[in-house]
Amino acid sequence: MLKEMLENVREKCPLVHNITNYVTVNDCANALLACGGSPIMSDDIDDVEDITTICGGLNINIGTLNQRTIPSMHKAGKKSNELGHPVLLDPVGAGASALRTKTAMELIENVKFTVIRGNISEIKTLALGAGSTRGVDADIADRVTEDNLAQAVAFAKEFAAKTGAVIAITGAIDIVANAEKAYCIFNGHPMMSSITGTGCQLSAITTAYVTANQETPLEAVAAAVCLMGACGEKAYKRLSKEDGNATYRNYIIDAIYNMTGDELEEMAKVEIY
Amino acid sequence: MLKEMLENVREKCPLVHNITNYVTVNDCANALLACGGSPIMSDDIDDVEDITTICGGLNINIGTLNQRTIPSMHKAGKKSNELGHPVLLDPVGAGASALRTKTAMELIENVKFTVIRGNISEIKTLALGAGSTRGVDADIADRVTEDNLAQAVAFAKEFAAKTGAVIAITGAIDIVANAEKAYCIFNGHPMMSSITGTGCQLSAITTAYVTANQETPLEAVAAAVCLMGACGEKAYKRLSKEDGNATYRNYIIDAIYNMTGDELEEMAKVEIY
Amino acid sequence: MLKEMLENVREKCPLVHNITNYVTVNDCANALLACGGSPIMSDDIDDVEDITTICGGLNINIGTLNQRTIPSMHKAGKKSNELGHPVLLDPVGAGASALRTKTAMELIENVKFTVIRGNISEIKTLALGAGSTRGVDADIADRVTEDNLAQAVAFAKEFAAKTGAVIAITGAIDIVANAEKAYCIFNGHPMMSSITGTGCQLSAITTAYVTANQETPLEAVAAAVCLMGACGEKAYKRLSKEDGNATYRNYIIDAIYNMTGDELEEMAKVEIY
pLDDT 10s digits, B207-234: 999 999 999 999 999 999 999 999 999 9
Cα dihedral: B69, B75, B80, B86 (round 10): 40
B257 vs C246: CB contact, 8 Å cut-off? yes
Q: Please tell me the predicted confidence (pLDDT) of residue A131.
A: 65
pLDDT beneath 70, residues of chain A: 130-134
Pairing of the two strands A57-61 and A15-19: parallel
Phi/psi at A102 (5° precision)? -60, -45
Q: Chain C residue closest to B69 (CA)? A: C66
Residue-level pLDDT at A223 = 98
Measured between beta carbons, the chain A residues lying within 8 angstroms of C46 are 67, 99
- Tens of pLDDT, residue by residue over B10-46, are 999 999 999 999 999 999 999 999 999 999 999 999 9
Q: How confident is the model at residue C135 (pLDDT cuts 50, 70, 90)?
A: confident
Nearest to A67 among C26, C44, C238 (CB): C44
C267 part of contact set with chain A, CB < 8 Å: no
Tell me which chains share at least 3 CB pairs under 8 Å with chain B: A, C
Whether the CB of A141 is below 8 Å from some CB of chain C: the reply is no
For residue C188, give Cα distances in angstroms to B235, C163, C178, C201: 28, 27, 22, 14
Taking the Cβ of residue A254 and every Cβ of chain C, the question of whether any pair is shorter than 8 Å is answered with: no
A87-90 and C166-169: which strand pairing? unpaired
Quick check: C71 contacting B, CB < 8 Å?
no
The CA distance from A18 to A30, in Å, is: 12
pLDDT at B132: 65
β-bridge partners, C118: C169
Q: Reply yes or no on whether the pLDDT at B140 is more than 90.
A: no
- The answer, yes or no, to whether residue B137 has pLDDT greater than 80, is no
Q: Hey, how many other C-beta atoms are within 10 angstroms of the C-beta on B145? A: 10
What is the CB neighbour count within 10 angstroms for residue C150? 11
Instruction: Flag whether residue B75 sits within 8 Å of chain C, measured between CB atoms.
Output: no
Asked whether residue B130 carries a pLDDT value surpassing 70, the answer given is no
| Amino acid (one-letter) located at B41 | M
User: ipTM of the assembly?
Assistant: 0.96
**Which are the contacts of C176, defined by CB distance < 8 A and separation ≥ 6?**
C156, C166, C167, C168, C182, C183, C184, C185, C218, C221, C222, C225
| Nearest Cα residue in chain A from B70 | A44
pLDDT tens column, C149-171:
999 999 999 999 999 999 999 99
Q: Does A24 touch chain C (CB under 8 A)?
A: yes
pLDDT confidence of residue B28: 98
Confidence of residue B131 (pLDDT cuts 50, 70, 90): low
List chain C residues with CB under 8 Å of B198: none
- Parallel, antiparallel, or unpaired for β C57-61 and A15-19? unpaired
Q: How far off is chain B from C54, nearest CA to CA, in Å?
A: 27
What is the least distance, in Å, from the CA of A150 to any CA of chain B? 37
Chains that touch A (3 or more CB pairs under 8 A): B, C
The percent of chain B in helix, strand and coil, each rounded to the nearest 5, is: 55, 15, 30
Residues 165-224 on B with a CB inside 8 Å of A are 194-197
Q: Is B230 on the interface with C (CB under 8 A)?
A: no
Mean pLDDT of C230-244: 98
Which of B24-33, C136-145, C249-258 is predicted least confidently?
C136-145
Mark residue A196 as left, alpha or beta (left: phi above 0; alpha: psi -120 to 50; beta: remaining).
beta
Taking CB atoms and an 8 Å cutoff, what residues of chain A touch B244?
34, 253-258
Q: What percent of chain C has pLDDT over 70?
A: 98
Q: Which domains does chain B have, with CATH numbers?
A: 2-272 (3.40.1190.20)
The answer to whether A26 contacts B27, with C-beta atoms less than 8 Å apart, is yes
pLDDT over 70 (residue B145) = yes
Residue-level pLDDT at C72: 98
Q: What is the pLDDT of residue A103?
A: 98
End-to-end Cα, chain C, rounded Å = 17
Q: What does DSSP say about strands C174-177 and C182-185: parallel, antiparallel, or unpaired?
A: antiparallel
Q: What is the mean pLDDT of chain C?
A: 96
Contact yes or no for B34 and C242 at CB 8 A: no
